[in-house]
Structures are given as structure tokens and as C-alpha cells.
Amino acid sequence: MHPNRIRRARRTAAVGLSAAALAAGVTSAAGPAVAQPKAAAAAADCSAAYRIEQKLSTGTTWRMCWRYDSKAGLVLEHISYQPKGEPAPIKVLSSARLAQIDVPYDDGSVEYDDLTGFGFAQGLVPLDSAECPGGTIKTVKVPEAWDPAHPNVNGLCTTTRSRGHAYRMQADTGNRVYQQQGKDLLIYTVNKVGWYEYMTEWRFQDDGTINMNVGATGSLSPGDYDAGDGRGWPIGKGAHAYATSHAHNVFWKLDFDLDGSSKSRIEQYDSKVSAPAHGQEAPTNKTTRTNVTKELAGDAENMRWWRVVSTAGKNKDGHARSYEIVRGASSKYPGHAFTSHDVYFTQYDKCELFASNNPGCASGHPKTVDKFVNGQTLTNPVVWVNVGFHHIARDEDQQPMPVHWQGFSIAPRDVTAMNPLTPAALADQNGQPGNGS
Ligand SMILES: [Cu+2]
């Protein structure tokens, strides 16, 4: 976003050239979401150059393939998780990618669809070892590179990082403390779009949680300073030089592959206080499950959450494996139908890849994710998550602009029968104490 005029013209031209490559991209993107034979091992899905495999020091291994799309940028595929104690990798996602960064300015002057219209993928920047501490930088061949003679960019970092306590527990006898410092696999790129630089970060924790975040840094657009009070914020001396406020509406698209099957179920849970506190009694609180059997544009509510449930596998307790969508902070932008909901569940369609200005479909096919929701039965659900950030600039945004992050997580729910990092001494503590369960 915020491109100066020269860049904007170049990007527009690049978009016009991309039809053939785009069609190719759509075809290849269709591959992973198609159910694959169970025998196809995770590691066999890509060549060594496109494979990421990391065994964290706490015993958990993450495996996946990566590729680079001409519009979405980094795409992670065939993602599996194998904590210690699991005999084989557990398949989680067939595809995980950004699906749009939509940036409307509050004065109505401009709106940028960074992925589909402004060369997000082509803006991949090289990273040096200082920006990828302790990690490995892979070379990415950028499709439809602005300089076709130089398509290769050393722009994909994979590294590991400590995240602090994974757990801590005082033993009930003696002075023993069980504690573990958690470890994460981090994978990221930086993509420059005009004056902004977007960090696309994927964080795979040793406890099975996946965090996906976009961090915006770089500079505020020097061309967007025409805002008055109510549409911007003065960031130079005195009460002038109002940087125009704007929203960053970021969409992610997740295709699940739990236990190797694309046929998952979606469930929504809502909890409500059913009786308030009265006298000496505590309040009661009731949780209700709603099966989401048809395409849905979902809205966050207090004490509401969704999960994607495996139809193919159970953990050792006999519970269906699932991943829960854990939302973070979001400012939902009501300026468009497609930005007006927090999550969308749609039936898999190989042409539906972006949340707005979706290219590559037959004419007449809707272009926005809200319109992909049209009553189909969900047998192969695709999850779209919309996280908004309303950016009202502040003096501290110059210069450079500090990274502002937005994103969400998916957390395992019953993927393993116990905490995947359980120490051996506690391995028998599963279920109600003394109940033999
Ligand atoms: Cu911003």
C-alpha cells in the first residue's frame, strides 16, 4: 500500500501481465486440498529445497513444504505435527496462506488490495543473518518478478526461538518443580508494498499451537497527509500534518487436513451465564454446541469460539482430534460486506483463493469471501479468518514505524491425550485422580 505514483504504475502493468501465470497458480493451488492417499507421507510431498523439518529441543517435530505464490507470497503446505510419544506425524493443514491485506483510508481517497493489486509477493526483500538470528535463509524464486533477470531473493527465514514457560507445576510431595521452557519454530518473510513493509510470520510451538501474524513496519505514506481532525492524527510539529487514518484488514485462509482427511466438521461453542449469583450460590454457566453444517459468515461474541474437528482420527483417549480457532484482538471494519465478519467457513472451491478482488474464477463467480458463503453444505470446509487493525498514526510512528502486529492462533484440542510436553513422571495423570481412567 501507499505506493508512490511511479511504483503504482509499474504494479498496474505487472498485474496486466499475470493472467497466464495466475491460471497456473490456481491449478497448482488446487492440488493440496484434494484428499490424498493416507500412504503419502508428509515428507514426500515436496523436494528437499522446499521442505522444512524442525525437531525442537523439547522433542516436537514440525514438518511442512513451502512454495511461493505470485500473489499470496509464502504458502505453507502439508503441515504435520509430531510431539514426543506420537509414533507418526499428525497431519494438520494441507495449506496455510494469506488471503488479502485490504487497506482503505479513512478520508475515502484510496483503498489498496495489497496482495491482488499491489505486488505484495513481488515486494519480497532479502534478509541477512542479523534478521534471521540462529536460523537459515532460503532462496525464493519470485514469480513475475519486477526485474525478470533477478527473480531470486534470499528472503525466507526459518529459525527457532524460546518463548518462556510452557508450563510450571509444584509437585504435591517434596520440593520438586516441573517446568519446561517452550520452543517455537519461526518462519517468516518481509514483503515491501509501497512505504510499508509487512512481516508475515508463522510460529509453530512445541505444544502444537500455530500462531500466524502480520506485522506492519517501514514508513507511513508521505502521500497520505491530507486528513483533517476526525480522519487523521497530527504527527509533525503543532496542529497540522495529519497522517490519514486507515485500516489494515488482513485475511488468512486455512485448509485443514486433520489426520489426512479434508472432510472435517465445524463446531461453534457459546457459553452463557444461565443463572446469576444469588444468595450464597455462585452463578451457573452453560456451554452450547452448534454444528455448522452449511457455509457461514461468523461473528465473534463474548465466550464464543469455533473448532475444526477431524472425521478421520482420534487421540489415545478416544476423543476426536480438533483444532480450535483462537482469536486475538481485532477491529472489524464495517466498510465492506467482506470485512464485516470475523470468520468464514466455505465449501472448498479451487478458484476461491483471496478474500477480495479474487482473480482466477470463471466470469460471474463472486469476488469476495462473503459471497463465497451461499448456502452450500460443508463437507470440505475452508476457514477464512479476518483480523482488522485500525491504524490511527501517532508521533512514535516516525521513524521507522514500530512493527504493529495483528493475527490469531489455532490451538490443538484433543489432538493428544495429554499435554504433549508431559514429563515421564506425570504420564499417568490423565483424567480424574483415583478413578482409574
Ligand atoms: Cu498503517
Residues 125, 126, 129, CA angle at the centre, nearest 5°?
Answer: 140
Can you give the pLDDT at residue 45? Answer: 84
pLDDT at 390 over 80: yes
Q: What is the mean pLDDT of residues 257-271?
A: 98
d(CA 113, CA 69): 16
What is the Å distance from ligand 1's center to 190 Cα? 16
Residue 354 burial by Cβ neighbours in a 10 Å radius (0-12, 13-18, 19+): buried
What is the Å distance from ligand 1's center to 435 Cα? 55
What is the Å distance from ligand 1's center to 5 Cα? 19
DSSP 369: H
**Is 397 within 8 Å of 302 (Cβ atoms)?**
no
pLDDT digits (tens, 9 = 90+) for 111-141: 999 999 999 999 999 999 999 999 999 999 9
What is the Å distance from ligand 1's center to 77 Cα? 29
**What grid cell was written down for 129?**
543473518
What is the Å distance from ligand 1's center to 241 Cα? 16
What is the Å distance from ligand 1's center to 300 Cα? 23
Per-residue confidence band for 285, with pLDDT thresholds at 50, 70 and 90: very high
Helix (H, G, I), strand (E, B) or coil at 34: coil
pLDDT digits (tens, 9 = 90+) for 372-382: 999 999 999 99
What is the Å distance from ligand 1's center to 221 Cα? 9
What is the Å distance from ligand 1's center to 382 Cα? 28
pLDDT at 219 over 80: yes
Per the prediction, the chain carries an average pLDDT of 90
At 43, which amino acid appears? A
pLDDT at 177 over 80: yes
- CATH fold of 3-219+246-391+400-426 reads Beta-galactosidase; Chain A, domain 5 (2.70.98)
What is the Å distance from ligand 1's center to 212 Cα? 18
Can you give the pLDDT at residue 228? Answer: 78
pLDDT at 158 over 50: yes
Report which of 13, 34, 37 is spatially closest to residue 263, judged by C-alpha positions: 34
Report which of 309, 317, 321 is spatially closest to residue 437, judged by C-alpha positions: 317
What is the Å distance from ligand 1's center to 391 Cα? 5
* 146 CB neighbour count, 10 Å cutoff: 15
d(CA 23, CA 283): 57
**What grid cell was written down for 402?**
514500530
Which residues, in sequence order, are CB contacts of 269 under 8 Å at separation 6+?
Answer: 287, 288, 289, 290, 304, 305, 306, 307
What is the Å distance from ligand 1's center to 123 Cα? 17
Residue 14 burial by Cβ neighbours in a 10 Å radius (0-12, 13-18, 19+): middle
For 133, phi then psi, to 5°, come to: -60, 130
Can you give the pLDDT at residue 7? Answer: 37
Lowest mean pLDDT among 63-77, 212-226, 308-322, 401-415: 212-226
Which residues, in sequence order, are CB contacts of 107 under 8 Å at separation 6+?
Answer: 226, 227, 231, 232, 244
pLDDT at 421 over 80: yes
What is the Å distance from ligand 1's center to 201 Cα? 17
pLDDT digits (tens, 9 = 90+) for 142-156: 999 999 999 999 999
What is the Å distance from ligand 1's center to 247 Cα? 7
For 14, phi then psi, to 5°, come to: -60, -35
d(CA 86, CA 394): 49
More reliable by pLDDT, 25 or 126: 126
Report which of 129, 151, 128, 127 is spatially closest to residue 140, judged by C-alpha positions: 151
d(CA 115, CA 154): 20
Per-residue confidence band for 44, with pLDDT thresholds at 50, 70 and 90: low
What is the Å distance from ligand 1's center to 188 Cα? 20
Can you give the pLDDT at residue 221? Answer: 87
What is the Å distance from ligand 1's center to 249 Cα? 10
DSSP codes of every residue in 176-234: -EEEEEEEEEEEEEEEEETTEEEEEEEEEETTS-EEEEEEEEE---TT-----BTTEEE
What is the Å distance from ligand 1's center to 244 Cα? 9
d(CA 104, CA 195): 15
pLDDT digits (tens, 9 = 90+) for 182-200: 999 999 999 999 999 999 9
What is the Å distance from ligand 1's center to 203 Cα? 23
Can you give the pLDDT at residue 238? Answer: 87
What is the Å distance from ligand 1's center to 220 Cα? 7
Which residues, in sequence order, are CB contacts of 61 under 8 Å at separation 6+?
Answer: 53, 54, 55, 81, 82, 89
pLDDT digits (tens, 9 = 90+) for 303-359: 999 999 999 999 999 999 999 999 999 999 999 999 999 999 999 999 999 999 999
